[in-house]
């Protein structure tokens, strides 16, 4: 199992999304964060389970929300590049490499 590390951009993505859901319905931001953590747990357990979208970048979709985690597998950890809405431009994560 590899531990995960969120880049600052990914932390911002996560906070913005959680705040947006919380503004729509009380408690929904926490549900989003729980879903994110569950997805990260899966990535930490099985890093290769995410869809490869580039030589080094993988994507794991959240189950209950239209978001994806973009990450790389490093020798000592999983590096989360972003937590992005699936309707955003699919190449936005490239600017974070």
Are residues 87 and 14 in contact, defined by beta-carbon separation less than 8 angstroms? no
Collapsed DSSP state (helix, strand, coil) of residue 4: strand
Q: Model's pTM, two decimal places? A: 0.91
CA dist., res. 79 & res. 72, Å (int): 5
Q: How many Cβ atoms sit within 10 Å of the Cβ of residue 38?
A: 12
Domain assignment of residue 79, given as a range: 4-96
16-65 per-position pLDDT tens digit = 999 999 999 999 999 999 999 999 999 999 999 999 999 999 999 999 99
Token pair listed for 31: 């549900």
Q: How many Cβ atoms sit within 10 Å of the Cβ of residue 9?
A: 17
DSSP 26: T
Collapsed DSSP state (helix, strand, coil) of residue 52: strand
Confidence band of 97 (pLDDT split at 50, 70, 90): low
Residue 81 is part of a domain; what is its CATH number? 3.30.2310.20
Q: Lowest-pLDDT range, 4-13, 27-36, 69-78, 82-91?
A: 82-91
Helix H or strand E segment including 42: helix 28-45
Res 71: pLDDT: 97
Res 45: pLDDT: 96
């Amino acid at each position: 199992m590899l531990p995960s590390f969120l880049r600052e951009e990914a932390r911002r993505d996560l906070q913005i999304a959680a705040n947006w859901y919380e503004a729509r319905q009380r408690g929904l931001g926490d549900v989003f964060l729980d879903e994110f953590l569950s997805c990260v747990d899966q990535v930490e357990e099985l890093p290769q389970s995410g869809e490869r979208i580039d030589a080094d970048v993988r994507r794991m979709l959240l189950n209950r929300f239209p978001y994806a985690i973009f990450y790389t597998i490093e020798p000592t950890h999983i590096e989360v590049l972003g937590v992005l809405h699936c309707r955003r431009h699919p190449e936005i994560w490239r600017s974070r490499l």
